[in-house]
Amino acid sequence: MLRKIEKPDISGIDNKKIMELFQNEKVRELAQKSLSPYVHWEKIKHWPVPNGIKNLELWAFIRLLRSKVFDRRNSPVKDEKGRYFTWIPWLPKLEKFLHEIDMRLGGNLFMSSNQVSDELQHRLLSRGVMEEAIASSQLEGAHTSRKAAKQILLEGKKPKNKDEQMIVNNYQAMRFVETELKDKKLNEEFLFLLHEILTKDTLERSEIARYRKDKDDIIVGDDGLRNEIYHIPPKEMFVKREIKRFMAYANNESPDANFVHPVIKAIIIHFWIGYLHPFVDGNGRMARALFYWYLLREKYWAFGYLPLSKVIKNSPAQYRDAYIYTEQDENDLTYFIEYNINKITQAMREFEVYAERKWKENTRMAKMARNKYKLNDRQIQLLRYFYKNKDATTSVISHMKVYETSRVTSMKDLKGLEKQGFVTSKKTGRLVYYYATDRVANLFN
């Protein structure tokens, strides 16, 4: 059953009554409150309101402001009836948010950039891409723990099931976007190649790198006990027509009537793919990968550090509702844009706290490791990893992958640590694994 949001009938609200509400300071304050977060009637109906005023009247007042008073703009996204999805560019704190994005994610993300080494920045970037790959797959239903997923990616193990394969695919897709696609224009070949990477060994070959067809009978919904449908994707002919407009917009070949900030545009790109749902599977991962691609192409390189999907994964119902409210409440894209703004802000704050903590942890231990034991940055980072993960292991292959070094350099790093007693090795099958010794804890303590 399709989940439908409640749409109260406000046609009976007298226009004179709505005009009177403009004079009520408390009502104006409530209307302002409804913008951040950008809330729907389903919440506003429970708000306490001033005496003599009904919640339905407050909603009618808010709807009037949103549709007539604010500078509502068309996005390029259309529904099957030809109606544009629209959004409000004026939101509380939006200018401040975009300014901060430009200053930090388009420039210097690090609070102590003069003190954060290139090696630490590289490690934080690797962490961001890996966390994004894992969380984005988990959002799409991959049931693998974060710890197990990281081990698979770090050690290059062959996936044992579809869930693990999804995570490996997503990681490879993110790295491919970062290394090969970030400076390229979007076209059908690009789109199909990315879909092939995202869905390798998780779909039938006949379902990969092609647009879905009506006979595929694809719906978006809850597979659990409630069995709700959240979105019925548009027909294949509409998708084939609109995907061309989508690619032109993503390539900046069909400019907006008014300037749209690149981060807002990336959010619109994210929504557009989710709405069109052009493939049999992998649409959510595709949408988030293209969000990432567009921002890298626009030189917002620091988004690579932010595992945005990890933050979204902690509020999956809100993410779902942002789509549902947008589609069912008069094509109001502001719901989806405002939700993503909040999550980007949260991801940025969490990253800054994490990076600052890592820098402080690193300083004292790194000084001793370099001066007393003559360890390099890769060896120091590995010992930190062992200290934080008591049962962790590594191998020459894992070390090569994480630090992007040659096999010779990787072996030299690990043998050097073993010689000084920080790690011990054990052969299992054809691989040699390295384990931390008690001396690692002593170095930190």
pLDDT digits (tens, 9 = 90+) for 72-83: 999 999 999 999
Q: Are residues 292 and 384 in the same domain?
A: no
Q: What's the burial of 51, exposed, middle or buried (CB within 10 Å: 0-12/13-18/19+)? A: exposed
pLDDT of 360-395, one tens digit each? 766 777 888 888 899 998 998 899 888 888 788 999
Indicate whether 288 belongs to any domain.
yes
Indicate whether 342 belongs to any domain.
yes
What pLDDT is stored for residue 353 in this prediction?
81
Residue numbers in the chain where pLDDT is lower than 70:
105-126, 223-226, 361-362, 445
pLDDT of 240-281, one tens digit each? 999 999 999 999 998 777 889 999 999 999 999 999 999 999
Q: Are residues 28 and 171 in the same domain?
A: no
Q: Are residues 125 and 211 in the same domain?
A: yes
Specify the pairing of strand 229-231 against strand 423-428.
Answer: unpaired
Indicate whether 271 belongs to any domain.
yes
Indicate whether 364 belongs to any domain.
no
Name the token pair of 325.
């409210």
Q: Are residues 139 and 193 in the same domain?
A: yes
Q: Are residues 239 and 203 in the same domain?
A: yes
Distances (CA, A) of 379 to 234, 384, 399: 53, 9, 10
In this structure, the chain runs to a length of 445
Number of domains in the chain: 3
Q: Are residues 207 and 61 in the same domain?
A: no
**CATH number of 398's domain:** 1.10.10.10
Q: Are residues 62 and 89 in the same domain?
A: no
Identify the sign of the CA torsion 357, 362, 363, 364.
positive
Q: Are residues 184 and 294 in the same domain?
A: yes
Indicate whether 106 belongs to any domain.
yes
Tokens 């647009």 -> residue: 211
Indicate whether 9 belongs to any domain.
no
Instruction: Note whether 423 and 393 are within 8 A (CB).
Output: no
Q: Are residues 207 and 307 in the same domain?
A: yes
Indicate whether 357 belongs to any domain.
no
Alpha helix locations (H) across 45-201? 55-64, 94-100, 118-139, 146-155, 162-176, 188-199
- Read off the DSSP letter of residue 47: S
Q: Which domain holds residue 287?
A: 78-351
Identify the sign of the CA torsion 387, 389, 393, 399.
negative
Q: Are residues 83 and 29 in the same domain?
A: no
Q: Are residues 236 and 315 in the same domain?
A: yes
What pLDDT is stored for residue 112 in this prediction?
46
Q: Are residues 341 and 415 in the same domain?
A: no
How far is residue 225's CA from residue 223's CA, in Å, rounded to a whole number? Answer: 7
Residue 75: enclosing H or E segment and its boundaries? strand 73-78
**CATH number of 232's domain:** 1.10.3290.10
Per the prediction, the chain carries an average pLDDT of 88
Indicate whether 29 belongs to any domain.
yes
| Residue where a domain stops, chosen among 351, 384, 414 | 351
